[in-house]
Amino acid sequence: MISVFVNLFQSGVFNVLGDLVVSFRNFKVRINAALALSMPATRQQYGSHFVHVWTALLDGLENSSTMEDFSEYRHHDNLIHQLCQSLSHLATLVRREDLTALHEVLVFRMDVLQQHMAKFSKRNFLKEKTKKQKALAALCQSLSHLATLVRREDLTALHEVLVFRMDVLQQHMAKFSNAPPEKSALLYTAASHCSALLQSAGLNTGEHSSAAMLASVFLLDNTNLIE
């Protein structure tokens, strides 16, 4: 009796959410419905409604440009993003026995699905690229800060650290130098400090080599200083 009640409840919830995601006039409601349809973590939790959820999300994608109130257009991209994210989640749960039924759902919707998934993929790639760039900028800032603190007695030990990492360090510092001034200003402080270190009197060969490597990284155009 309880299992029958649960099945009826699930059926009602999936049907309501499916209707909302396809045609509700408020796009924020559609977005939340699409999100809710991706909440079940396993294929089993979707039960017999799995293909129905696919259908609703795909219909929502096809219908995403249909709106009664054009003020909803500002939420259009977020709706597409959530629909694609929810469909991606469902794709991870597909089992062999779902394929025949899914074929009937997908075959007439492939153009719109591929079109939006390509944009979704590109958008995600750009987000990840931005995150990576921010992380690298933070690392370059930290290294620039450390460079301002280097003393002559650090140079010999630093030589062993720098000598096999110069290519990657110069590459990223060159990119970091193009960052906005408020972020890259520390680089020029480091450059000034490393230049002064290089000009210190009485440096031995190892110290001079290490100071020259630091200068070539933070001054960027002094690779000829390395001996």
Alpha-carbon distances, residue 61 vs 24, 27, 31, 48 (angstroms) = 13, 12, 11, 22
Note the pLDDT of residue 9.
54
Q: Which two tokens stand for residue 39?
A: 């909440």
The pLDDT, as a whole number, for residue 5 is: 36
Mean pLDDT of the chain: 84
pLDDT digits (tens, 9 = 90+) for 23-55: 899 999 999 999 999 999 999 999 999 999 999
Task: Report pLDDT digits (tens) over 103-160.
Answer: 999 999 999 899 989 888 877 666 666 777 788 888 888 988 898 899 999 998 998 8
CB 37 within 8 A of CB 18: yes
